Chain A
Amino acid sequence: MATQTASLPRTTEGKRAQPVGLIALTVFTALMLLAASYMAFIYAPTEATMGAVQRIFYFHVGAAWAGALAFLVTVVAGVLYLIKGTRKWDIVGLSSVEVGLALITITLASGPVWAQFAWGKPWTWDPKLTASAVMWLSYAAYLMLRQGIEDPTRRARFGAVYGIIAFASVIMVFFGVRFITATIHPVVIGQSASTAEGDFGMTARMLHAMLFSFVTFTFVFATLLWHRIRLERLSDRVDAIKARLLTR
């Protein structure tokens, strides 16, 4: 009996407690989010021409930064998968796309609330906004198209190559549009285009709040990525056990 029970490999993995490091990181990130909220709502001064709505900017930009970082991690994981061919890097790439997509969704959904006040409309097919929508769709398509490939090796190779190519959309959003002079979207770092609407001069306290938000969202990304990777590993384990039981 003991031998038979042992033949069901590592089924207690799903019940295993989370690593201490992950618990500590999760708690720390939650505290960072509280601190970032304090910085955004209380520490940073109210912008004179827009009022309180400008405070959306801190989390809007922070989430955009972390989303771009997530997609960069996908590129690195994709390259490492193509070199080494190990499932580990496929899991990192997939997990990073999913977390990045959630973060970019936050950016794309919060921006229109600010735009409704600043521009008088929630959305416009401005180059920067259009490029952002294309980026979101590119990564949403990554998740959907992966599902359609049965063979795990082909699926992982597709994910790696797609993740690398799709990063072109991120470059377009964050750097490419800087060379387009006819955008109404203001930029955070550097000079906005002359056609930008809703631009504002950042005070020192606003800058502190923004930088703190960048750091916080980096931790949010790292925490979510770690949780998502563990979830994918658990899913792999369940699939492996199911396959083994079916072939017995």
Chain B
Amino acid sequence: MYLPLLFQTPTPNTIGYLIVGYVIIGGIGLLYVLSLVLRQRALRRDLEVIERLHLDNDEN
């Protein structure tokens, strides 16, 4: 009854592949989110500069 178990190959240790895989998945996800944050920050900076220029023009 237990004879087939003797011929089964043991489950391989592939934890290293798993870690690399999820580092890649997380890394790409974080990079994309970071790109969204940086672009939004740059646009807000642009708005602030425009506002400042506009106010300077009004004062002159």
Q: A14-B43, A231-B36, A231-B40 are in contact. Are A117 and B17 (CB under 8 A)?
A: yes
- Are B28 and A242 within 8 A (Cβ)? no
Interface of A is mostly: helix
**Chain A to chain B contacts (Cβ below 8 Å), 18 pairs:** A4-B58, A14-B47, A46-B11, A48-B11, A49-B9, A50-B12, A50-B14, A53-B18, A56-B21, A60-B21, A99-B32, A102-B28, A102-B32, A113-B24, A224-B33, A234-B40, A234-B44, A241-B47
Q: Does A148 belong to the interface (CB within 8 Å)?
A: no
Q: List residues of chain B with CB within 8 A of the CB of A59.
A: 22, 25
Question: Complex Cα distance A114/B11, Å?
Answer: 15
Which residue of B is nearest A235, CB measured?
B43
Distance (whole angstroms) from the CB of A144 to the closest CB of chain B:
16
Classify chain B: how many residues form its interface, as a range.
20 to 34
| CB of B44 to closest CB in A, whole Å | 4
With the chains together, A109 CA to B32 CA distance in Å? 14
Shortest beta-carbon contacts, A-B, top 8: A53-B14, A56-B21, A53-B17, A51-B14, A113-B21, A14-B47, A102-B32, A52-B18
Q: How far is the CA of A218 from the CA of B28 in the complex (A)?
A: 17
Give chain A interface residues in 103-123, CB to chain B under 8 Å. Answer: 105-106, 109-110, 113-114, 116-117
